[in-house]
A and B are shown apart, each in its own frame.
Chain A
Amino acid sequence: MRITELFQRGEFVLTAEVGPPKGVELDHLIKDAHEYLKTRVHALNVTDNQSSVMRTGSLATCKVLKDEGLLPIFQITCRDRNRIALQSDVLSAALLGIENLLLLTGDYTTLGDHPQAKPVFDLDSVSLIHAVKRLEEGFDIAGNAVDGAPPKFAKGAVVSPCSDSVDVQLAKMEAKVKAGCEYFQTQGVYEPEKFIKFMEQAKQFGVPVQLGLIIPKNVGMCRYMNANVAGVHVPDEMIKELQADKEKTKAGDTGVEICARLIKECKDYAQGVHIMSLGWENRIPEILDMAGIAPITPVV
Chain B
Amino acid sequence: MWPDRRLLDLFKLEFPIVLAPMAGAMDAELVIAAAQGGALGSLPCAMLTAEKAREQVNIIRQRVSAPVNMNFFCHKPVDADPKREAGWKQRLGAYYKEFGLDPSAPINAANRAPFDAAFCEVVEELKPEVVSFHFGLPSPDLVKRVKAAGCIVMSSATTVKEAIWLEENGADVIIAQGAEAGGHRGMFLTENIAEQPGTFALVPQVVDAVKVPVIAAGGIADGRGIAAAFALGASGVQIGTAYLRCPESKVIAPVRAALAQATDESTVITNVMTGRPARGVANRTMREVGPISPDAPAFPHAATALGPLRAAAEKLGRVDFTNLWAGQAVRMGREMPAAELTRALAGGALARMSQMAH
Verify that A and B bind, or say they do not: no
